[in-house]
Chain A
Amino acid sequence: MSEELVWRIAGGSGDGIDSTSQNFTKALMRSGLHVFTHRHYPSRIRGGHTYVEIRASPEPVRSRGDGYNFLLALGDSFARNPQEEAYYGTEEIKPLTENLDDLREGGVIVYDEGLIDVEDVPDFEARVEENDWHVYPLDLRSLAREKGREVMRNTAGVGATGALLEYDLGHIEDLMADAMSGEVLETNLEILEAAYQQVDDLEFSHDLRMPEGSHDSEQVLLSGSNAIAYGALDEGCRFISGYPMTPWTEVFTLMAQHLPEVGGISEQVEDEIAAAALALGASHAGVKAMSGSSGGGFALMSEPLGLAEMTETPVVLVEAMRAGPSTGMPTKPEQADLEHVLYTSQGDSNRVVLAPGNVREAYEQTRTAFQLAYDYQLPAIVLYDQKLSGELRNVDESFFDREPNADLGATLSEDEIAEAAHHASGKFQRFKHDPGENGVSPRSLPGQKGGRFLATGNEHTPEGHISEDPDNRVAQLERRMRKLEAIREELDGREESHQTLHAPVEDADYGILTFGSQQGTVEEAVDRLAADGHSVKSLGVSEMMPLAEAEVTAFLESVEEALVVEMNGSAQFRGLIQKELGRFGPKMNSLLKYNGNPFEPAEVVEGFETIVDGDEPAPTTRFVPAAGD
């Protein structure tokens, strides 16, 4: 097996790092490699240090992995004061100072000597020697400036990368031709070629080469946010309302772009209260609708969310978590909104919460969220985070070959309304006390003959009239709660589980539990631990409400001890298990991380060794031992 490539491009935000890396990721995918990208960027529009990492391998890639082996350090052109050409502190050299810690032994460094002076980088020479790094200084800035414009330094960097890795840049050229034309295209191609040549003429001291591609089926490159948007579109969602907030905006903008093309409606509105309210109104009128936000915006949605529960209006809300509380760290991932999403809004919660663990699950579970919302007439929330939102992964195109679903769920036609037994009282009983096992009273839609009713956020009778009658209250509340039990049963009975069990060792003694975006990282850690002879398996949980009780119980019963991995400071997922299952306290240790960066497999490995061998956990994480026995 050829060695995997983990390519990191670093520079200032606004320097075109994102677009360059996206193109390169796509080119690698087209060469038959499996890819995974990780974005790290500050809350700043221009300047400030940023990097994107692309992991490419002949094997499917599940996470960013630990560290990387190729650095393209561009320098931060926005760090310079345009008037005086003076530097703002050390920002200019950050692409080297900030990134070296994670560069693997024997790794390759290409840096832009037009912008970076290694004299300013502390201990550079010594570290290079110590780690056996292979360094290629290139004046990318001048090269780009001579042939075209300075901002095209990125292209020069990619050309240099190609030469150093003996990688044919044909796919990059194709992608450039798709995206630009005329002089801009020509200049870029020229710069690409010139940089390639310049490096090709050098003596190489490193062994790293581009790995061989392995797949030849058609692939698409999607982020978690892309996958949610396409899941919604494929499921027949034709209405979205929103207000921008990072990183939810990525779902919103893609939907806003495509909804009109497929005959739908997109609305950017005055605030998140309105956004959720509009989705509710559209759904009430008979359209599949969605809204969403990130932490603070979702907080504003809590009242409409409660209204959807009380009026039994189907709606899908997306919550893209980032580090909080309040505006927190806008561009950094965290999983600390779990409790917020489970319990926000007054009264007894009556909603579905699904937390996809990767790009494919983001697509599938968005579809499931719509199905459950419309079949059971309640809000369904897709909970994910900034990490999954931005990471790109290749998915086989055949995975998406499904028909849009126009089924509105438990909704009656006019003929059915006329026949409905509900009609016995002379009025349509929209909120019939006892409609059957699953608690769902089929709805009519405004405009339909014979289906008139009042939908109200107050407690109400079967016809929808406001009522504080105790017997009616009990009947209605119990029926609404019954829907969740019915959903639990439906999900338990499915052929394909939403939980992802990863068990390289059968009957493993130890288990690692996680939810959402940390799934792939945990799986990779499990593989390493298993290769080291540990008896361990993992379960990535997606069904948070209703909690995947049966599977979590079976998993925890089957192991002696477990480690619950999550990105927050208060062990919210572990708390949920404890609350829902009422046991396993003595078995569950927590590994928490909340510094704004997601887990790396090595940190999970070290956390695990804390329970088995009593080692120290990684300094970036916090280990909370089991609650005792």
Chain B
Amino acid sequence: MSAFNAIGEEREVERDEYTPGIEPQATWCPGCGDFGVLKALKGAMADLGKDPEEILLATGIGCSGKLSSYFESYGLHTIHGRALPIARAAKLANPDLEVVAAGGDGDGYGIGGNHFMHTARENHDMTYIVFNNEIFGLTKGQTSPTSPKGHKSKTQPHGSAKSPIRPLSLALTSGASYVARTAAVNPNQAQEILVEAIEHDGFAHIDFLTQCPTWNKDAKQYVPYIDVQQDDDYEFDVSDREEAARMMQKTEASLYEGEVLTGRFYHEADRPSYGEEKRQVGEMPDEPLAERYHDDDYEWERSYDLLDAHK
């Protein structure tokens, strides 16, 4: 069985190949920022010529989690907050797969916060897109970890006393090797960043600003953004941690007041991915583990010999 031999071969792929015969309008509201992510992802994958069959898209639960329903590839629509641990094992088992994980701000920074921190720390080779609409969409508008302080919702009717989470800084301090923020209203930038993130060999985190016209009309997600890479006022070295941290603080503060900065904030190009590190210490095979089950010539090591220690 030669299931994986076609992987990695480059060819022209039409955007339409990523469109399944099922319409996102089925669940997403008119004007929802989620359409922008879908569009940018299709564009980026087409730019890269990725075969839909070599892509594994793992999503969490929420409006954002439905991305895997509307993007044609191998899809995994999992459980709330858990897309990352599922995705990273799939990548370890079969490093030939192009693994993308996605979910909402509640999904990724709330219930899945622990996994976010650890996946970033381990620097798994994958792209993680967080749809940041500052609200719980699917469960009808509750306060999320990125909602601003004072935000009122049905579950926090007196206004939230919590400060919002700072996802970019969190990703950076946890150890992500690529961190960016982009927005659905900026389709060209979003697509470029996705291309870069997917090509990056390590954990690429994208805080993707998406608007939720249904539950969060007040959020900043509708305003135009400043692209830090395009604007001379914001020159900095993206490979420098300290400068990146400073710029991230700017965008994280400005999301709630002032101008919002987007773009690539940190890019550490030469750090080995987790799989590579594991390989180096002898904890991961060179060839994709998943292939072994289809290789008739593979000599399976018998644990029988390990029993010698118990004689």
Give me the interface of A with B, judged by CB distance under 8 Å. 218-222, 226, 230, 233-234, 236, 238-239, 241, 258, 260-267, 269-271, 273-274, 277-282, 284-289, 303-304, 306-307, 311, 397, 400-404, 406, 408, 413-415, 427, 445-458, 464-466
**Count, A-B residue pairs, CB within 8 A:** 214
Known: A269-B118, A281-B88, A465-B22. 18 other contacts (CB 8 A): A233-B306, A239-B93, A270-B117, A274-B82, A277-B78, A277-B89, A279-B89, A282-B90, A282-B93, A286-B290, A311-B76, A404-B301, A404-B302, A406-B300, A446-B97, A447-B3, A448-B53, A449-B53
Known: A233-B306, A265-B283, A414-B3. A285 touches B56 (CB 8 A): yes
Q: Are B77 and A454 in contact (CB under 8 A)?
A: yes
Q: Which of A236, A278, A451, A453 contacts B293 (CB 8 A)?
A: A236
Q: Are A222 and B310 in contact (CB under 8 A)?
A: yes
Q: Which of B75, B87, B90, B115 contacts A453 (CB 8 A)?
A: B75
Q: Are B93 and A234 in contact (CB under 8 A)?
A: no
Known: A274-B118, A453-B74, A454-B75. A447 touches B96 (CB 8 A): yes
- Closest B residue to A457 by beta carbon equals B79
Q: Can you give 28 A-B contacts (C-beta < 8 A)?
A: A239-B93, A261-B301, A262-B301, A263-B289, A265-B278, A265-B285, A267-B89, A269-B118, A270-B117, A273-B85, A274-B85, A280-B86, A281-B76, A281-B93, A282-B89, A282-B93, A286-B3, A287-B93, A446-B53, A447-B3, A447-B4, A447-B53, A451-B53, A453-B75, A456-B69, A457-B77, A457-B78, A457-B79
Q: Are B289 and A265 in contact (CB under 8 A)?
A: yes
- Closest B residue to A411 by beta carbon equals B293
Task: Say yes or no for B108: interface residue by CB 8 A criterion.
Answer: no
Q: Which of A222, A286, A307, A455 contacts B75 (CB 8 A)?
A: A455
Task: Say yes or no for B7: interface residue by CB 8 A criterion.
Answer: yes
Task: Say yes or no for B172: interface residue by CB 8 A criterion.
Answer: no
Complex contacts, B273 vs chain A, CB 8 Å: none
Q: Which of A220, A273, A454 contacts B68 (CB 8 A)?
A: A454
Complex contacts, B86 vs chain A, CB 8 Å: 277-278, 280-281, 284
Distance, CA A502 to CA B301, complexed state (A) = 37
Task: Say yes or no for B162: interface residue by CB 8 A criterion.
Answer: no
Q: Which of B2, B66, B78, B96 contacts A307 (CB 8 A)?
A: B78
Known: A278-B86, A455-B76. A271 touches B114 (CB 8 A): yes
CB distance from A370 to the nearest CB of B (A): 12
Q: Are B75 and A278 in contact (CB under 8 A)?
A: no
Q: Are B307 and A270 in contact (CB under 8 A)?
A: no
Complex contacts, A220 vs chain B, CB 8 Å: 307, 310-311
Q: Are B79 and A414 in contact (CB under 8 A)?
A: no
Within 8 A of A (CB), among B50-70: 52-54, 56, 58, 61, 66, 68-69
DSSP majority for the A interface?
A: mixed
Complex contacts, B118 vs chain A, CB 8 Å: 269-270, 274
Interface size class of B (residues with CB under 8 A): 35 or more
Q: Are A447 and B310 in contact (CB under 8 A)?
A: no
Distance, CA A456 to CA B74, complexed state (A) = 11
Q: Are A413 and B1 in contact (CB under 8 A)?
A: yes
CB distance from A622 to the nearest CB of B (A): 38
Distance, CA A450 to CA B298, complexed state (A) = 25
- Closest A residue to B81 by beta carbon equals A273
Give me the interface of B with A, judged by CB distance under 8 Å. 1-4, 6-7, 20-22, 52-54, 56, 58, 61, 66, 68-69, 72-79, 82, 85-94, 96-97, 114-115, 117-118, 278, 282-285, 289-290, 292-294, 298, 300-304, 306-307, 310-311
- Closest A residue to B56 by beta carbon equals A446
Complex contacts, A465 vs chain B, CB 8 Å: 20, 22, 69
Complex contacts, B285 vs chain A, CB 8 Å: 263-265
Known: A413-B294, A452-B53. A278 touches B85 (CB 8 A): yes
- Closest A residue to B287 by beta carbon equals A263
Q: Are B115 and A447 in contact (CB under 8 A)?
A: no
Q: Are B74 and A274 in contact (CB under 8 A)?
A: no
For A236, A258, A281, A304, the residue with the greatest tally of chain B CB atoms inside 10 Å of its CB is: A281
Complex contacts, A414 vs chain B, CB 8 Å: 1-3
Distance, CA A406 to CA B290, complexed state (A) = 11
Distance, CA A547 to CA B58, complexed state (A) = 35
Q: Are A286 and B310 in contact (CB under 8 A)?
A: no
Q: Are A446 and B306 in contact (CB under 8 A)?
A: no
Distance, CA A413 to CA B294, complexed state (A) = 9
Q: Are A284 and B292 in contact (CB under 8 A)?
A: no
Q: Are A278 and B303 in contact (CB under 8 A)?
A: no
CB distance from B305 to the nearest CB of A (A): 9
Distance, CA A465 to CA B69, complexed state (A) = 7
Q: Which of A239, A262, A281, A286 contacts B303 (CB 8 A)?
A: A262
Q: Are A445 and B302 in contact (CB under 8 A)?
A: no
Q: Are A287 and B96 in contact (CB under 8 A)?
A: no
CB distance from B101 to the nearest CB of A (A): 10
Complex contacts, A457 vs chain B, CB 8 Å: 61, 77-79
Q: Which of A221, A263, A278, A413 contacts B88 (CB 8 A)?
A: A278
Complex contacts, A269 vs chain B, CB 8 Å: 85, 118
Q: Are B3 and A448 in contact (CB under 8 A)?
A: yes
